[in-house]
A and B are shown apart, each in its own frame.
Chain A
Amino acid sequence: MIKVEGLTRTYGAYTAVDDVTFTCEPGRVTGFLGPNGAGKSTTMRIIVGLTPPTSGRATIKGVDYHDLPNPGRMVGVLLDASAQHGGRTGREILTLGALTMGLPMSRVDEMLRLVSLSPSEAKRRVKNYSLGMKQRLGIAHALLGDPEILILDEPANGLDPAGIRWMRGLLKSYADRGGTVLLSSHLLHEVELIADEMILIGRGKILAQGDRAALLAHNTAAVETLATSLDNDALAAALTAKGIGVVPAGEGLRITAEAVEVGRTALEHQIVLTDLRSGDGGLEELFLQLTADTQREGVVA
C-alpha cells in the first residue's frame, strides 16, 4: 500500500506538487493521469525517496521508503527507462540489480523471458535498444525483486500496440494476485483500460479521484448519448418534446440524456434505432474539462 499525505514540492516560486493526498490499495491498479508537467513524475520520485518533499509525507506500507531494508524486494520502480548506462547490456543491468537485491541469477533469465527480450537482444548494449525495448527492460528490472508494489512512470511509452496490450495483461494479473500498482500516463485511453482507480492531476493539484463510476458521477452534466434511427427527424422531435437537448451529429443525433431515456422514447414512438451508445466523451470530456486551464493548448473545443 502506498500512502501519500499532503505532499508538496516547490522549486523557488514554482509549485510542482501541491498538497497531494491519495492512497493506492493492494489488489488494485491506480492510474495517475495528467497532462505533461502536471507533477506526476515528481510525486513518484518523492515516493521512492529520490526527491525530498518540501512538506508532507509518502509511505510504503506505513514505512518511509528510506527505512525499507531492501527496497527492491518490496517496491518495483521504473521511473525512466532511459536512465541506464548505455554501455551496459540488458543482461548486465538486470545482473547488477539481482546482485544488489541478493537474488539468484536464474531470476535474470526468468525476467528476460517474462518481458520477451531474446538472449541475443539481452547481449546488446542498451544504447542500441529502441525505446520499447528499454521499457521492457525497465519493467523486467522493476519486477526483478518480486515486489508487492509497482511504481511505473509512463511504462507504455514507446511500446507498440501489442506491447501495450501485453503490459495491460501483466499488470492486471499482478494486481489480481494482490499486488499494488501505481502507474502514470498522460493518455487517458491507456489508463482507462487497466486502472481500477484513477487520480487526475493538473498543475500539481489533484483534480479528481476515484473509480470510473465515481469520476463520471462527478460530471453529470456531460452525459451524452449518440443515436441513429430510421427516422431521425421524428426521434429528434419526440425528444425535444420531452425537453431533451438534441443536436444532429453526422449520420445521427447527439442527445443530452442517458441511453435508456433515448431507447424508451424510441419505443414509445415506434422508431427503429440502428445505433445507440453512450457518448464516449464521458471520461475524456471530464479529463479535458478538469485540466483545461492547465493545458498548454488552452480549451479544446
Chain B
Amino acid sequence: MTTVAQAENQTPAARPATSGIPFTRLLQVEFRKSYDTRSSFWLLFAIGAIVLVAELIAAIVTAVNDVDDVDFGTFAAVAGFVTQLLLPVLGIMVVTSEWTQRTAMVTFALEPRRARVIWAKLGVGLVWTAFTVVFALVMGVIFNLLYGAISGNTAWSGGAGVVGFVITQAVAMLIGFAFAALTLSTPAAIVIYFAYLFAVPTVLGIGSALMDWFDSFAQWINFSEAQQPLYDGFWSMSGGEWGKLIVSGLLWLALPLALGLRRIMRAEVK
C-alpha cells in the first residue's frame, strides 16, 4: 500500500475549509458535459450539418426556380426553421441526460444546491443557442452571397428580424429545457415539444375558425403565433403584441420551467 501512503500523505482531518463552487466553474463543467459524450457531440454536429444542408437545398431550389424575392431573410428563415426543431432537443438533452444516465447522483452530491446546477445548464443551453444562431446567420450570409453570385442579384433586406430571430431561437431551446425539467424524460419532453409546436396551433386554429369568441382568447395562449411579430421587426411591435407574447410565454415557458425546477429541487435522486 505504498502508493496509498504516497498519494495520501496528508492527514485527511487537517485541511483548511474550502470556499464554495463559483457559478462560472459550474458553467464550465456543464458546458464540458454538453459535448463530451458521443451522443451529445453528434447532436451538436447534426445541428450544424442539417443547417448547412437546408441552406444548400434552399439555394439550389431558389436558383433553379428563378425565384425573384430571395434575400438574406430567406436564408435566415430556412436556418431558423431547422434550428427551431433541433435546439429544443439540445435543451432537452442537457437536462435529461443526468436522469437517464443517473449521473444526477454524482452531480448533486458535489453541488447540493441543485438550482445552481440547473441554472448553469440553462446557461449552457443559451451558449449553444448563441453559437447556433451565429452559425445560421453566417450560413445565411454565405449562401446569400453565393446566390447573388449565381443570379447576379444580392439582396440584404430581411435582416430586420435578426433580434426576433435570436429571441425565438432562444425561446425554442428554453421551452424544450422547461419540458425536460418537468418530465425528466427525453421522449416525453420531445413529444410534448412537438405537440406544442404543431398540434397546439392547429387545434387553436380550428377552435378559432369554429367559434368567434375563441379567436380573441386563442391569441393570448398561442405562443408560436405570438412570436411571429418578432420576425417582422422587434422594434415596431405594438403593446397588444407584446402583451400576447408575454402572457402566452408565461403559460408555455415560465410555468413549466417553474414547475420543473420545483420538481428537480424536491426529487429524490437515486
B residues within 8 A CB of A111?
7
Question: Interface on chain B toward A: helix, strand, loop, or mixed SS?
Answer: loop
**How many residues of B are counted as interface, with CB atoms below 8 angstroms from the partner's CB atoms?**
43
Tell whether B106 is near chain A: CB-to-CB under 8 Å.
yes
B residues within 8 A CB of A169?
1, 4
CA distance A87 to B35 in the complex (A): 11
Which residues 148-191 in B have Cβ within 8 Å of A in the complex? none
**A82 and B102 within 8 A (CB):** yes
B111 (CB) vs chain A CBs: closest residue: A100
**B1 and A71 within 8 A (CB):** no
Tell whether A281 is near chain B: CB-to-CB under 8 Å.
no
**Closest chain B CB from A49 CB (angstroms):** 5
B residues within 8 A CB of A41?
270
Tell whether A220 is near chain B: CB-to-CB under 8 Å.
no
Tell whether B67 is near chain A: CB-to-CB under 8 Å.
no
B residues within 8 A CB of A100?
21, 25-26, 29, 110-111
**B21 and A77 within 8 A (CB):** no
- The digit string for A95-116, where 1 denotes a CB below 8 A from any CB of B, is 0110111100000001101101
**A84 and B106 within 8 A (CB):** yes
**Contact partner of B12 among A49, A66, A114, A147, CB < 8 A?**
A147
**How many residues of A are counted as interface, with CB atoms below 8 angstroms from the partner's CB atoms?**
53
**Contact partner of A96 among B33, B38, B113, CB < 8 A?**
B33
Tell whether B216 is near chain A: CB-to-CB under 8 Å.
no
CA distance A52 to B38 in the complex (A): 34
**Contact partner of A174 among B12, B15, B36, B270, CB < 8 A?**
B12
**Closest chain A CB from B109 CB (angstroms):** 5
**B268 and A52 within 8 A (CB):** yes
Tell whether B242 is near chain A: CB-to-CB under 8 Å.
no
Tell whether A92 is near chain B: CB-to-CB under 8 Å.
yes
**With known contacts A65-B112, A87-B39, A177–B29 Cβ distance under 8 A:** no
Which residues of A are interface residues toward B (Cβ below 8 A)?
26-27, 41, 45, 48-52, 65-66, 68-74, 77, 79-80, 82-88, 92, 96-97, 99-102, 110-111, 113-114, 116, 141, 143, 146-148, 166, 169-170, 173-174, 177-179
